[in-house]
Amino acid sequence: MGELEQRGERTPAPTAWEYASAPESRELVTLERQYGLFIGGQLVEPRSGKYYDTIEPANEKPLARIAEAGPEDVGLAVGAARAAFENGWSAASPAERAKYLFRIARILQERSREFAVLESLNGGKPIRESRDVDLPLAAAHFFYYAGWADKLDYAFPNRRPRPLGVAGQIIPWNFPLLMLAWKLAPALAAGNTVVLKPAETTPLSALLFCDVLRQAELPPGVVNIVTGDGATGAALVEAEGVDKIAFTGSTEVGKAIQRQLAGTGKKLTLELGGKAANIIFDDAALDQAVEGIVNGIYFNQGHVCCAGSRLLVQESIYEPLIEKLKRRLATLRVGDPLDKNTDVGAINSRQQLEKIEQLVAAGQEEGAEIYQPPCRLPEQGYWFAPTVFTNVAQSYRIAQEEIFGPVLSVLTFRTPAEALEKANNTPYGLSAGVWTEKGSRILWLAERLRAGVIWANTYNRFDPVSPFGGYKESGFGREGGRHGLEPYLEFEGAEEIGG
Amino acid sequence: MAQAPVLPAGFELPLEPRLPRIGSVDQVALEARATDLSRRSIKREAKLFALELAVRMMDLTTLEGADTPGKVAALAAKAIRPDPADSSVPSVATVCVYPNLVQTAADRVRGSGVKVAAVATAFPSGQSPTDLKVAEARRVVELGADEVDMVIDRGAFLAGRYAKVYDEIVQVKEAVGEAPLKVILETGELGTYDNVRRASLLAIAAGADFIKTSTGKLPLAATPPVTLVMLEAIRDVFEETGRRVGMKPAGGIRSAKQAVQTLVLVHETLGLDWLTPDLFRFGASSLLNDVLMQIRKQKTGSYQSPDYFTID
């Protein structure tokens, strides 16, 4: 008790301080009633004649009608990409390609508020994240690869890099515009043309991006965008004239694509699921580690392939850390994605919500202890409260399967060797986090963890310079950095140069 | 050479993990969290609530060599009735002055509910013998100070003589008796967030009722990450012992916006319980007018010229 309390002169503390809602304006975005397919530089009606509604996951209301591309439409898009490749893009001077990429990057920066609002509307993610993470990173990727476009010979000395041709790219719904940037920027910088298929539930930012391409005066056909569901994606994978497929999404679909492409000679890179370990040692800075845990699993509602969904805590600090984590969870604001104070937004789709609910029910059945902070979830839309499971055994489904939602499974360990063993004991291998003040321990683990990305004393930090990709069932190939160019290039004549 | 005391028979080392652990602070992650929280958007009634709270939490301060009874009298009048045009604006918590001006301040605020805080212990450097510092602290209370703001001996702290820092706080605490003691860490001189955390826990262990960031005499003062690291130390002590320690950022908070952002830090780190002048203060001189201006903006919907707010 402080002195003042003892003297009985306390000024009572308030019982509430509700932040007034601070919504970003949805008027920043003007939506068409209906969108066609972007083929050869034009939005055209689909030959399939089919459309579907894309909705706002925060209230389940339709936002626009979206074309559903059939095999014929996909064939037209690939044809347009092929023609653009043959008629100039592959032969254009590399500095010319860089010019367009720089333009796109700048236009994205200029229109970032508009795109951020759209990303939150269609995807359900908090505006704070689309504004501070998705948009700046998307622009940064275009800037970064614009810089490489005329320096490929320096990126791969003595290997004579040349473009592959037409790249078919299929992207997920968790970071619609950012994944578009991750895919398009290196492909274009390397001199390829592209047919891109956005995710079924989140096509709008890609369609607005067509307007950026128009503003940037990118030659028609260099980028084509076909919307639709899994069947559209499968048609793109199969299409004649596609030289390379780049896919980001579930391990299940990734495996199917790999089977489909076997023996076709098409190149393939896959960025698939994960079940990353976030490892907290007893000497870590605890309050900051708690922030890292929260950022690791509740960022973007946990719809992150590299999410730190398995928390490994050293047993000696288990209790204080879990207490801190639970207290922190109570301060997370769940709700309207457009409110600037929202920390956790809407689940992307009903299908995903059902999957999360199913796995959480499995966790409870298996005997794990569930904790959810008290929070009011809106009546309409798809929502799931931030969730922590304690008393989780390595064998539980919630410790093995990717949930792709705001659900954390907590396990404990006693020694660094045990932490390593548990962290690697998964079919996935996309990412991992290590929290310790000991530099030597970070290096020891980084050498031994079977994961493509390892964060030390931070989590979910991205930069275009840093390569990203998986081991094992998390896929193969790298995106980002100089490594990210390689899947979009072929190299000739190592033998000619004395190799 | 000093010898380690012999352990008494049957003495056992405490084997339970002890909290508050001294622990460590990660600079990058701490600063990222502070930046994140500074992006909260506080509007309308939520903002007005914070602004009025900020007024009630203010230690309205003048600490200049040029301070005179006239200057302090003007400040005291402002403290009691910050906005003469709006009687619903509350009084501030204290006026904070040098020892020589304590009596003037006490005379001027008597009966108003506004208290007098005095700096002591060779403020701002703390570079004086302990007995003089203790005597000064005792004296300001005799002169009429209701609260005492002391400085720690940063020289001793940085030299690793933690026991000296601790002992001095204990002695000053004893000297000021019932008066709440605020312990200034002068974080701008401590160099690292780890040191800020250590000094916070040291001051609390020695009996501080409030821990305070700065003297206001250095350019680097109450930054959001420094405030956050101190709030986290207070939280750890509360979780471990149930003891509630107050917090006072001082220096560098000049705009109403910064004050609201600081209250967001408090709210989301320590919760509603700390949103009271009993456990949170702002040490500031120029902040008050900006807060008053923003309050009037919230109430009337338009900004008014700074000429309508008194310069004291």
Quote the pLDDT of residue A2: 42
Burial A87-109 (b: 16+ CB within 10 A, else e): eebbeeebeebbbbbbbbbbbbb
Task: Give bridge partners of residue A408 from the DSSP assignment.
Answer: A388
What's CA A198's distance to the chain center, in Å? Answer: 12
Residue appearing with tokens 């207290």: A327
Q: Does A492 touch chain B (CB under 8 A)?
A: no
Do A308 and A299 contact (CB within 8 A), yes or no?
A: no
pLDDT at A278: 98
Pairwise CA distance, residues B150 & B146, whole Å: 13
What is the per-residue burial (b if ≥16 Cβ within 10 Å, else e) of A7-35?
eeeeeebeeebebebbebeeeebebeeeb
C-alpha to C-alpha distance for A494 and A487, rounded to whole angstroms = 17
- Does the model's pTM come out above 0.95? no
pLDDT of B20: 63
Query: Nearest Cα to A385, choosing from A398, A403, A367, A373?
Result: A373
Q: Is the peptide bond before A320 cis (omega within 30 degrees of 0)?
A: no
Query: What is the tens place of the pLDDT at every residue in A45-96?
Result: 999 999 999 999 999 999 999 999 999 999 999 999 999 999 989 889 999 9
Are the C-beta atoms of A388 and A408 separated by less than 8 Å? yes
* Separation between Cα atoms, residue B105 and residue B76, nearest integer Å: 6
- pLDDT score of A103: 98
Query: In the predicted model, is pLDDT for residue A499 greater than 60?
Result: no
How does pLDDT run across A244-285, given as a tens digit for each residue?
Answer: 999 999 999 999 999 999 999 999 999 999 999 999 999 999
Place of tokens 């490929």: A152
What does the pLDDT average to over A310-321? Answer: 96
Identify the band that residue B240 occupies on the pLDDT scale cut at 50, 70 and 90. confident
Residue with tokens 């004050």, as numbered in its chain: B259
Select the residue of A14, A288, A292 nearest B272 (Cβ to Cβ).
A14
Contact flag B274-A13 (C-beta cutoff 8 Å):
yes
Residues on chain B touching A20 (C-beta within 8 angstroms): 42-47
Integer Cα distance of B122 and B130 in angstroms: 10
Closest CA to A345 of A130, A58, A27, A62: A58
CA dist B38 and B240 (Å) reads: 28
pLDDT band at residue A9, thresholds of 50, 70 and 90? low
Residue A11 banded pLDDT, cuts 50, 70, 90: confident
Number of inter-chain CB pairs under 8 A, A vs B: 109
How many other CB atoms are found less than 10 A from the CB of residue B206?
Answer: 20
Residue B94 is inside which H or E element, if any? strand B94-97
Strand stretches in A207-258, DSSP E: 223-225, 244-248
What is the per-residue pLDDT for A1?
Answer: 37
CB atoms within 10 A of CB A263: 6
Mean pLDDT (chain A) is 95
Mean pLDDT of A345-369: 98
- CB–CB of B26 and A288 under 8 A? yes
| A1 touches B at CB < 8 Å | yes
When the pLDDT of each residue in chain B is averaged and rounded to a whole number, the result is 93
Q: Which residues of A touch B181 (CB under 8 A)?
A: 3
Rounded-to-integer distance, Cα A370 and Cα A382, Å? 20
CB interface of A with B, residues 172-191, below 8 Å:
none
A370, burial (CB in 10 Å: exposed 0-12, middle 13-18, buried 19+): middle
CA A411/CA A318 separation, integer angstroms: 9
Per-position DSSP letters for A442-478, written without gaps between them:
HHHHHHH---SEEEES--S---TTS-B--SGGGEES-
* Pairwise CA distance, residues B137 & B181, whole Å: 10
User: Average pLDDT in the A282-299 region?
Assistant: 97
Q: In the prediction, which pLDDT does A304 show?
A: 97
DSSP code per residue over A289-340: HHHHHHHHHHGGGG--TT---EEEEEGGGHHHHHHHHHHHHTT--BS-TTBT
Block residue for tokens 């309409």: A380
pLDDT for position B21: 72
* Among B92, B59, B64, residue whose Cα is nearest residue B78: B92
| CA pair distance A202, A56, nearest whole angstrom | 9
Q: Is B212 a catalytic residue?
A: yes
The pLDDT of residue A321 is 96
Q: What ipTM did this prediction achieve?
A: 0.90
Nearest to A13 among B40, B179, B272 (CB): B272
Each as own residue / partner, the long-range contacts of residues B83-87 (CB below 8 Å, 24 or more positions apart, any chain) are: B83/B292, B83/B295, B83/B296, B83/B309, B84/B310, B85/B296, B85/B308, B86/B295, B86/B296, B86/B299
Interval B68-100: pLDDT, tens: 999 999 999 999 999 999 999 999 999 999 999
Confidence at residue B19, expressed as pLDDT on a 0 to 100 scale: 45
Q: Does A395 touch chain B (CB under 8 A)?
A: no
Q: Which of A13, A317, A457 sits opposite B26 (nearest CB)?
A: A457
Q: What percent of chain A has pLDDT over 90?
A: 95
Q: pLDDT over 70 for what percent of chain A?
A: 97
In Å, how far is B141's CA from the nearest CA of chain A? 15
Q: How far is A338 from chain B (nearest CA, A)?
A: 12
- Kindly give, in sequence order, each residue whose CB lies less than 8 Å from that of residue A484, ignoring residues fewer than 6 positions away: A145, A182, A186, A467, A468, A478
Q: Answer whether residue A7 shows pLDDT above 60.
A: no
Integer Cα distance of A125 and A344 in angstroms: 7
Query: How does pLDDT run across B96-122, given as a tens digit for each residue?
Result: 999 999 999 999 999 999 999 999 999
Task: State the pLDDT confidence band at A6, using cuts at 50, 70 and 90.
Answer: very low
Taking the CA of residue A321 and the nearest CA in chain B, the distance in Å comes to 11
Q: Where are the alpha helices (DSSP H) in A312-438?
A: 318-329, 350-366, 397-400, 416-424
- List the single residue in B with minimal CA-CA distance to A24: B41
Chain A contact set for B241 (CB, 8 A): none
Helix A135-148 / helix A176-189 crossing angle, nearest 10 deg = 0
- Identify whether B43 is a catalytic site residue: no
Give the span between the Cα atoms of B50 and A447, in whole angstroms. Answer: 49
What was the pLDDT predicted at A464?
97
Q: Given a cut of 70, is residue B12 above it in pLDDT? A: no
Tell me: pLDDT of B5 over 70.
no
pLDDT band at residue B312, thresholds of 50, 70 and 90? confident
Q: Considering only alpha carbons, which residue of chain B is nearest residue A341?
A: B40
